[in-house]
Every structure is written in structure tokens, then in C-alpha cells.
Structure 1
């Protein structure tokens, strides 16, 4: 159900208390008046003939207009915060700390082993083997 544009009541020029006879007469008047396209008039009449859709339109007609005052209050804490951190606080790490991946090294490390290489070729490359350097420091009790 679109909320933009005129409601079926506005298209047909009737109020929400109109009965089926008034609805039929209003549809004929609206088609003769040519303020709206005939298919819009037919859709508006069909929507008001369907009890569920008519109830939806009745509820929408009597809803108060929405204002942005409540939204301003709701978003006030968010508005007070800066949207992004201060760029001066960000510093680049030293180049030595950055991981460098070279395509040639990766391709060589993970290439299929030659058939004659045997078990040695199936080992994990040294660069990717786990060692004690990856473990957290542990204090051994005395």
C-alpha cells in the first residue's frame, strides 16, 4: 500500500463512513470528472471494497502526522559524538612491522610438488610452520 499520493478516499471524494452504494456512485463521478486516471479510480474503489484494505486506509487516515521532533531528541546523543576519530591520533606502524606478501614466494611455497620430490615436498614451508615464537610467554613455577 503506497503512502505517497492521494488516498482512495481523496480520489473518490468520499469520507470513511461511505457505504457500498455511495462508493459505486463516487466511482462513476470520479471517472466523469477525469481528475485521476480511470485505472487509479478503479484501484481506489477496489481497495475500499476489500474490508482488510479499507481498514488499513481507515487507520492511515486517522493517524496523526509524524513530526521529526521526536527523532531530534532520540538522535541527540549520536549528534554530539564526532562521526570519525581524529585523524591526527592515527599513526602508521613502522614498515618493519607490516607483513609483506610476494606473489612469487606464495606461488612457490604452495605450488604442487614435483612427482619425484617424495615426502619432503609435502612438508609445510618454513615460513608457515608453527614454532615457539607464536606461543604466549609462560612463567614456569619453581
Structure 2
């Protein structure tokens, strides 16, 4: 059976698409962003830095989720959700996987604020109250 049920996938979709888009779209422009030259007409939509960030976060998430899926029951000394019968209720094992995945999405939402190679993703984070309330609200609801 799948580690994520339909309702959980809907929640993840709401977090990743709706809330993240709203939070990131309300981010005010910085002075350095307004002063940089525009990209050329033939430049790729996804830059090398963005590609490195996407691939790096994908490897990070897959490593953590697969580790929790295949050996998580050993780490937490719980029953494995993989051996449950088909359509059985969610196990504690799969609940840990789901919560970890959601928290990684929240981290990625914060990390996605900086796409031009800046190191400090928390710089100016409190300057956008909408972003902070969306991240905090998602964390509390989760």
C-alpha cells in the first residue's frame, strides 16, 4: 500500500502549490534584485543555480524518505507499515514518513526564497508577515 493516502496527498498539494505560491509571491523585491540586469531573451528559464538547488533538495528528500521507509521502523522501534495488509489504516511508521515529508516541504519553502546563490535564506524573513504567517500556520496545522 502507498505510504501517502489521498487526503495526505491533497494536503501536500495544498502546501506545495497554493500556500507556497502565495507565500513566495508576496515576497517584496530586494534592492539587489531591482538593480540587476535583466536576463537575455535566449537564456534558460531555470538557471544552473536553480537546477543545483532542485537536484540537491530532491536527493536530500529522497535519501531521508527512503531511509525512513525502509529502515525507519528500526530507528524508532515501531511496527513496519510496509508489512501491513492492503487498505489497512495508516501506521505509525507511515505517519512519521508523512510528517517528515511535510516538514521538508516547509524547509524547502523557506529555502526557495533565495534563488541567486545567496547563502542566508533567513535574511529578511521577518520583513514579509504574510510569508511568516503562512509558514507558521502550516506548521501549526500540521
TM-score bin (small chain)? under 0.3
Larger helix percent: 2
Q: TM-score, normalised by structure 2?
A: 0.18
- Larger Cα-atom Rg: 1
Q: TM-score, normalised by structure 1?
A: 0.18
